[in-house]
Amino acid sequence: MSEIHPENYSHLRNLMCECIAVHLPDDKAYLAEARLHSLAREYTQGDINALIEKACSDTGDELRCQLVEAMAINETYFFRDPIFNESFIDHMLPNLMKRRRSDKTLRIWSAACSTGQEPYSIALLLEEHFPELKDWDVQIIASDFSRQSLSKAQSGRYGLTEMNRGLPALLMAKHFEQIDLEWQVKPVIREKVEFQRINLIHDWPEALPQFDIVLLRNVLLYFSMADRMKVLHKVRSQCRDDGYLLLGAAENLEIASGFTPVQAGKCGRFYQPG
Amino acid sequence: MATPQALVIDDSRAMRLILGDLLNQLGYETHEAGDGQQAISLLEGDTNIPSLALVDWNMPVMNGLDFIKAVREQNCYTGMKLLVVTSEAEVGHMVEALTAGADEYLMKPFSSEALASKLEMLGLRHA
């Protein structure tokens, strides 16, 4: 495997920052070498330096896009945070359903859905725990900047490693179909999730609704403070006044983010506008 | 607090070693059996019932499914969680195991994170 020249790693860091606001640390060149390996084989006979140079000098955006997508962290799995599941089932949903019982609408946004396990987990929680929502107008929007991740998310097809992590066997048996060596989310669940390509640091679609719940988990930690605040202010304007914002288990929000932390006993912590 | 006990039932010695090692790292003391019948003999000869059994599907003498059925017929083992760990990756097998009384199902090959995630689902994460 070729070693990345410092100037090429610097180009790559700039590219990641410009395209998706992600700041690669100085000492993570080895990660780039691992993540860009197959793309380099496809375009530049395995030469990662030549790949970065080609992407930077290409007039079109295609290779740059592929490079950024290959570098992005796609770590996700079904029902990732058990405390979130509890707070969703015991606190957020029952409260929201009380408050929305007249218009019977619910809008949920998984704002960095990666390969789709998060929005499908939400759809499964709704299906299993809130059958009364069948008569409601429920919209789950799932977005990511990566075409590759969205394509996989939309297919709803997962391999053995992904199925083994976080997904209870009962739900797997009930809501997935086996296709050769993969499993696919059954259409009735798949149809509940609407996928869109949204880059959080670029303009968002005007048609995005006001949301009751926004999941922005394990994303902000890769952004600079300025970009975090920019994204949070946009999330605030997209969130209903009594809505909820969910971050990753190890994430915290700064003061003046537009949100206040709420500790809901054993249900863990989430954020509300204010 | 007493060290939690786990029973690893698999006809492959290598797999028993791997599973035992992973469970040790997760804070368990492990016991081994090469098939379902051996596992039942172990359980009957010990008053200390493990909180967890990892059960392979295909084994000689008594397979995993028959072990699960036998154990679930006995009231004294209701507190023991049964996690099937198998290369049988068909939904039909999964349904059969769950119907017989298995608590969870993990498909081989699996990562240590996947095993830990299953234990967490079962409320058995100790370390």
Residue keyed to tokens 């084994």: B59
Distance CA(B98)–CA(B94), nearest Å, equals 6
Whether B94 sits inside 8 A of A77 (CB atoms) is: no
What is the fold, at CATH topology level, of the domain defined by A82-273?
A: Rossmann fold (3.40.50)
pLDDT (mean) for A129-151: 96
At residue A265, the pLDDT reads: 63
- Interface ipTM: 0.85
pLDDT band at B103, cuts 50/70/90?
very high
Nearest CB to A169; choose among B90, B105, B114: B105
Distance CA(B29)–CA(A27), nearest Å, equals 40
**Six-digit token pair at B59?**
């084994």
Task: List, in order, residues 6 or more apart from A126 with CB less than 8 Å away.
Answer: A93, A133, A138, A140, A192
At residue A266, the pLDDT reads: 67
Backbone angles phi, psi at A182, to 5 degrees: -120, 170
Residues of chain B in contact with residue A177, where contact means CB-CB under 8 angstroms, are 91
pLDDT (mean) for A179-200: 95
Q: For residue range B8-21, what is the model confidence (pLDDT) as tens digits? A: 999 999 999 999 99
Residues A79/A121, Cβ–Cβ less than 8 Å: yes
Strands A182-185 and A259-263: unpaired
Distance CA(B103)–CA(A145), nearest Å, equals 38
| Contact A109/B at CB under 8 A | no
Residues B27/B3, Cβ–Cβ less than 8 Å: yes
Distance CA(B119)–CA(B126), nearest Å, equals 9
Distance CA(B108)–CA(B85), nearest Å, equals 7
Residues of chain B in contact with residue A164, where contact means CB-CB under 8 angstroms, are 106-107, 110-111, 114, 117-118
At residue B95, the pLDDT reads: 94
Sequence spans of domains, chain B: 5-121
Nearest CB to A160; choose among B89, B97, B121: B89
Q: For residue range B48-102, what is the model confidence (pLDDT) as tens digits? A: 899 999 999 999 999 999 999 999 999 889 999 999 999 998 889 999 999 999 9
Architecture of domain B5-121: 3-Layer(aba) Sandwich (3.40)
**Six-digit token pair at A145?**
């900047």
- Looking at per-residue pLDDT, the higher value among B38 and A225 belongs to B38
Q: pTM for this one?
A: 0.90
Whether B107 sits inside 8 A of A164 (CB atoms) is: yes
HSE-CB for B84 with a 13 A CA cutoff: 32
Rg (Cα) of chain A, in Å, rounded?
20
At residue A61, the pLDDT reads: 86
Whether B114 sits inside 8 A of A176 (CB atoms) is: no
Residue keyed to tokens 């709420």: A262
CA distance to A39, A110, A232, per residue, from A106 (Å): 40, 13, 21
Sequence spans of domains, chain A: 6-71, 82-273
Distance CA(A164)–CA(A117), nearest Å, equals 12
**In 3D, which of A68, A71, A64, A75 has the Cα closest to residue A30?**
A71
Whether B114 sits inside 8 A of A168 (CB atoms) is: no
The sheet carrying A182-185 orders its strands as: A157-158, A182-185, A176-179
At residue A101, the pLDDT reads: 93
Nearest CB to B104; choose among A165, A168, A177: A168
What DSSP element (H or E) covers A261?
A: strand A259-263
Go through chain A and tell me how many residues it has: 274
Task: List, in order, residues 6 or more apart from A180 with CB less than 8 Å away.
Answer: none
Q: Residues 153 to 192 of A: which have CB under 8 A from any B CB?
A: 160-161, 163-166, 168-170, 172-173, 176-178, 181
